[in-house]
Amino acid sequence: MTNILNKISAIRVTPAQFFGFWAILFALVFTLSSCDDDLDVQQSYPFTVEVMPYADKIANGDTVELRMTIVPEGTTPIPSTQSATSSMRGKAR
């Protein structure tokens, strides 16, 4: 036992080795302790889709434009968005 203690006390460490060791140890502990499996991401937000009114009589082949608005309920980090689609297959009047 004394022989092991004498060998440990005989090791000379430079300041760069000393601080390097502690920096690596700190980085390792910080990296391993900062990870957790709990995700705080909410993947579904309450919202409603409102459709703009359009004519009741649309013939087959007519071109129409549908306007929809996504309205969030409550306070969500997602701003309201609007989407418009139109079909170019029909004949314009």
* Three-class HEC string of the chain: CHHHHHHHHHCCCCHHHHHHHHHHHHHHHHHHHCCCCCCCCCCCCCEEEEECCCCCCCCCCECCEEEEEEEECCCCCCCCEEEEEECCCCECC
Least trusted range by pLDDT, from 4-8, 51-55, 56-60, 72-76 = 72-76
Please check the confidence at residue 24 and state whether its pLDDT lies above 90: yes
The domain locations on the chain are 2-33, 47-86
User: What is the per-residue pLDDT for 13?
Assistant: 79
Mean pLDDT of 66-87: 68
